[in-house]
């Protein structure tokens, strides 16, 4: 009985200690804070679109033939007129020599008849026939030269080449794709806007563009063309902007997010994007406040967000400039929890 009493007494003491610990208030969570600030932002119309080359084609051959030489590597930068490939031209060269010989003979005959005509040694019809033969012979030479020139495929404009699609010694039929070439700088972005937004866009308006491939980089340019008609099915109008692409980071076909700037500025309230918790029930921040005991606590504040620029999000409702909110460590916080604000040299709040 004494032993059992001792055991029960010890257990009772343990339960008492646990209850005492549980009844003690939890220490305040350490947090980093920031303030909602007021900024001047140029309003912008957001849209999505595609990157397009100013000039972009698949280079193909106009005449069939066997690839004799290839003068480029995949990915090369070329200038207009640079030779890309040469096709075997032995037959065409022989044909040109024949046409030139015929033209030379026709020229001699025409000269002979021309010399005889003033002396009336030949008729006018003989002169006309000799001239026609000479003109036809020269035309056949030009035709043969043009045919021979088609055996040399050149870059149609300055640009960057894609991947080579033919091999040396390969017979290629007319119209075989040889290589893709695109002019990458400057470059276009094409997108559509609602017809309601048409009065808010003009040539020369600034645009900023981001793509998933380099999300940290913003590409700047300006509206360069607005389509003259509205699509009757979607009620949208096509817009084209020209972008600087000196580093060739943008490639045709990329999906792009576009902001078309407006020639005015609005005052907006902004917070760091990392201070916002985004979920399906609505966006919110933790607002720092005081409870009835004068202790610092956090309150869950639902907000409505707008644009995001340079890591800061526009808050259209729910906060005012100067409100103090939690900057980091949102995951382990709960509404009403006591907090302790770290100074600038303090550690980050645990996440």
pLDDT at 136 over 60: yes
Average pLDDT of the residues in 192-217: 91
CA distances from 326 to 32, 183, 215, 241 (A): 6, 48, 26, 39
SS3 content of the chain, % helix, strand, coil (to 5): 25, 40, 40
Q: Where in the chain is the domain with CATH 2.40.30.170?
A: 44-55+183-265
- Dist. CA 183–CA 79, nearest whole Å: 10
CATH assignment, 44-55+183-265: 2.40.30.170
CA distances from 185 to 171, 206, 257, 312, 318 (A): 34, 18, 19, 30, 44
Specify the pLDDT at position 10. 59
Average pLDDT of the residues in 2-7: 55
pLDDT at 11 over 70: no
pLDDT band at 133 (very low <50, low <70, confident <90, very high): very high
Q: Please state which architecture CATH assigns to domain 25-39+267-341.
A: Beta Barrel (2.40)
Average pLDDT of the residues in 315-324: 91
- Dist. CA 300–CA 289, nearest whole Å: 10
pLDDT at 223 over 70: yes
What is the distance between the terminal CA atoms of the chain, rounded to a whole angstrom?
Answer: 52
Q: Which residues 6+ apart lie within 8 Å of 337 measured at CB?
A: 26, 28, 29, 297, 298
pLDDT at 347 over 60: no
Q: How many residues does the chain have?
A: 351
Q: Where in the chain is the domain with CATH 1.10.287.470?
A: 89-150
Which is nearest to 203 in space by CA: 185, 228, 181? 228
Which residues make beta-bridge pairs with 258? 47, 209
- Dist. CA 161–CA 56, nearest whole Å: 10
pLDDT band at 346 (very low <50, low <70, confident <90, very high): very low
- Dist. CA 297–CA 319, nearest whole Å: 17
- Dist. CA 13–CA 9, nearest whole Å: 6
Average pLDDT, the chain: 87
Specify the pLDDT at position 329. 67
Question: What digits encode the pLDDT tens for the residues 241-269?
Answer: 999 999 999 999 999 999 998 877 788 99
pLDDT band at 123 (very low <50, low <70, confident <90, very high): confident
Specify the pLDDT at position 144. 94
pLDDT at 4 over 80: no
Q: Which CATH number fits domain 89-150: 1.10.287.470, 1.20.140.160, 3.40.50.2300, 3.40.190.10?
A: 1.10.287.470
Which of 27 and 163 is assigned the larger pLDDT?
Answer: 163
Q: Would you state the torsion angle of the CA atoms of residues 168, 169, 172, 177, taken in this order, to the nearest 10 degrees? A: -10
Which of 18 and 51 is assigned the larger pLDDT?
Answer: 51
Q: Report long-range pairs for 116-124 (Cβ below 8 Å, ≥24 apart).
A: none
Q: Where in the chain is the domain with CATH 2.40.420.20?
A: 25-39+267-341
- Dist. CA 172–CA 166, nearest whole Å: 8
Q: Is 40 helix (H, G, I), strand (E, B) or coil?
A: strand
């Amino acid at each position: 009985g004494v032993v059992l009493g001792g055991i029960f007494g010890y257990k009772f003491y343990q339960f008492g200690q646990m209850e005492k610990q549980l009844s003690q208030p939890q220490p305040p969570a350490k947090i980093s804070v920031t303030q909602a600030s007021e900024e001047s932002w140029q309003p912008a119309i957001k849209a999505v679109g595609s990157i397009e080359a100013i000039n972009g084609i698949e280079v193909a051959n106009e005449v069939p033939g066997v690839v004799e030489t290839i003068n480029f590597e995949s990915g090369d930068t070329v200038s207009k007129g640079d030779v890309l490939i040469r096709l075997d031209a032995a037959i065409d060269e022989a044909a040109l020599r024949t046409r030139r010989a015929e033209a030379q003979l026709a020229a001699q005959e025409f000269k002979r008849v021309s010399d005889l005509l003033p002396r009336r040694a030949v008729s006018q019809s003989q002169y006309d026939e000799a001239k026609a033969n000479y003109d036809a012979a020269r035309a056949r030479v030009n035709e043969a030269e043009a045919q021979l020139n088609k055996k040399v495929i050149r870059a149609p404009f300055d640009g960057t080449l894609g991947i080579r699609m033919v091999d040396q010694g390969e017979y290629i039929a007319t119209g075989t794709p040889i290589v893709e070439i695109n002019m990458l700088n400057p470059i276009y972005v094409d997108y559509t806007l609602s017809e309601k937004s048409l009065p808010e866009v003009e040539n020369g308006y600034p645009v900023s563009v981001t793509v998933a491939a380099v999300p940290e980089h913003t590409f700047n340019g300006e509206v360069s063309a607005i389509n003259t008609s509205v699509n009757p099915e979607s009620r949208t109008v096509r817009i084209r902007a020209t972008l600087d692409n000196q580093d060739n980071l943008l490639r045709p076909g990329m999906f792009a997010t576009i902001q078309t700037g407006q020639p005015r500025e609005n005052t907006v309230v902004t917070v760091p994007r990392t201070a916002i918790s985004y979920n399906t029930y609505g966006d919110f921040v933790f607002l720092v406040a005081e409870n009835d005991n004068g202790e610092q606590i956090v309150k869950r504040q639902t907000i409505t967000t707008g644009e995001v620029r340079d890591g800061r999000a526009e808050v259209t409702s729910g906060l005012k400039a100067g409100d103090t909110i939690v900057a980091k460590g949102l995951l382990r916080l709960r509404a009403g929890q006591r907090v302790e604000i770290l100074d600038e040299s303090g550690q980050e709040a645990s996440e």
